[in-house]
Chain A
Amino acid sequence: MKTNDIILQTATKVIAFVIILFSIRLFFSGHYYAGGGFVGGLMTSAALVLIMIAFDMKTVEWILPINYRFLIGIGLLTSVSTGLIGVFMGDPFLTHYFGYFDLPILGKTSLHTAALFDLGVYFVVVGVTMTIIKSIGESE
């Protein structure tokens, strides 16, 4: 019998956007409030898994054509190179810097290199979670 998933698929089209937006918000609020790269990455991969459940694996590959194993490498490289900035400036490894900048739309914003380290953590968490789930789901 052919099954009919139209309620789940229509709900997923709306809910996946809400989950991804909330995960980005969690990622950027990590410095001053609860959140950070780990939770944000887990929530992004949760949205991808929801799309994977409602549609199938090929739809997710069509939406986001990324090899998630490369994403782990990119994340680790980002975190290590953020630590190496301190070495090149003559300070110990993993020294972080911050400053206040006048951005065109956002106005006076404090930018911190710890956010780049967190971005690496985010990529690693998304990559590891999606690699685990895809490799378990594909083995028949």
Chain B
Amino acid sequence: MIEISKIIVAILILLGAFLSLVTTFGLLRLPDVYTRNHAASKAATLGIMSIMLGTFIYFYMEHGHFNSRVLLGILFVFFTAPVSGHLISRAAYNSGVKLWDKSVRDDLKKARENSKSTR
């Protein structure tokens, strides 16, 4: 195994673990559902993709084993995690979860009032 690839694998996996840790801090410390969802669906997605890329490079360089399922998994997580984050956030808004009391803008509420008044 080439030494440079070892360093790249280590950097990718440690970066992914660090991003997952950042996600848990965001989930614990942020004030309302929307900001927590923002932290969870962005940082965790990038962290998992980075860990999977590190795993793929490790098995390819160390064992010569091209594992296409890991690449498919990266694509799948990249595609599905933002969609699920969007759906959770929208379900929270539609069931009337309040925004953080210090937030200043609510464009969706304004757009809904406009569409109600024109109808």
Interface residues of A (CB under 8 A from B): 3, 7-8, 11, 14-15, 18, 22
CB <8 Å contact, B72 and A11: no
* B72: chain A residues within 8 A (beta carbon): 18, 22
18 CB contacts below 8 A, A to B, read: A3-B94, A7-B83, A7-B86, A7-B87, A8-B83, A8-B87, A11-B79, A11-B80, A11-B83, A14-B79, A15-B76, A15-B79, A15-B80, A18-B72, A18-B75, A18-B76, A22-B69, A22-B72
* A7: chain B residues within 8 A (beta carbon): 83, 86-87
* B94: chain A residues within 8 A (beta carbon): 3
The smallest C-beta distance from A59 to any residue of chain B, in angstroms, reads: 18
Interface residues of B (CB under 8 A from A): 69, 72, 75-76, 79-80, 83, 86-87, 94
**B interface SS class:** helix
For A22, the closest partner residue in chain B by CB is: B72
Separation of A18 and B94 alpha carbons in the complex (Å): 30
* A11: chain B residues within 8 A (beta carbon): 79-80, 83
Separation of A14 and B69 alpha carbons in the complex (Å): 17
* B75: chain A residues within 8 A (beta carbon): 18
For B87, the closest partner residue in chain A by CB is: A8
Separation of A15 and B73 alpha carbons in the complex (Å): 12
For A10, the closest partner residue in chain B by CB is: B83
The smallest C-beta distance from A25 to any residue of chain B, in angstroms, reads: 8
* B69: chain A residues within 8 A (beta carbon): 22
Separation of A11 and B79 alpha carbons in the complex (Å): 8
Separation of A70 and B94 alpha carbons in the complex (Å): 40
For B68, the closest partner residue in chain A by CB is: A25
The smallest C-beta distance from A34 to any residue of chain B, in angstroms, reads: 11
* A8: chain B residues within 8 A (beta carbon): 83, 87
